[in-house]
Amino acid sequence: MDMAEEKYGKLIDKDSDFIPLDSNPDLFTYEDNLTDEERKHNGKVFVYSIKLEESEWGEFCLIVTGKQIGRASCRERVSSPV
């Protein structure tokens, strides 16, 4: 998340509330006070963070298993029946 925030800026976090439902006061709904632009910004940060995580874990797993990193090893992983 830190790397994604470095690229796109910090996540926007404003006051939020859990509001009891009229139909059942034991249940709650979550309401944030973000604008559409702020939600869009946070979405970009989360999506990029997920992409980085997948990439970093993929690279980590290749290093740990001792497989060569590069285009050839990627092709082998894609074409090998797992």
Give this prediction's pTM. 0.59
Q: Read off the tokens for 30.
A: 């979550």
pLDDT: is 79 or 7 the higher one?
Answer: 7
Q: Which residues sit opposite 18 in a β-bridge?
A: 30
pLDDT, tens digit (0-9, with 9 covering 90-100), for 29-80: 988 889 999 999 999 999 999 998 888 888 888 888 876 555 555 545 555 5
Residue 82 pLDDT more than 50?
no
Return the number of other C-beta atoms located less than 10 Å from residue 38's C-beta. Answer: 15
- pLDDT at residue 60 in the model: 82
- Residue 69 CA to residue 66 CA, distance in Å, equals 9
Q: What is the pLDDT of residue 29?
A: 94
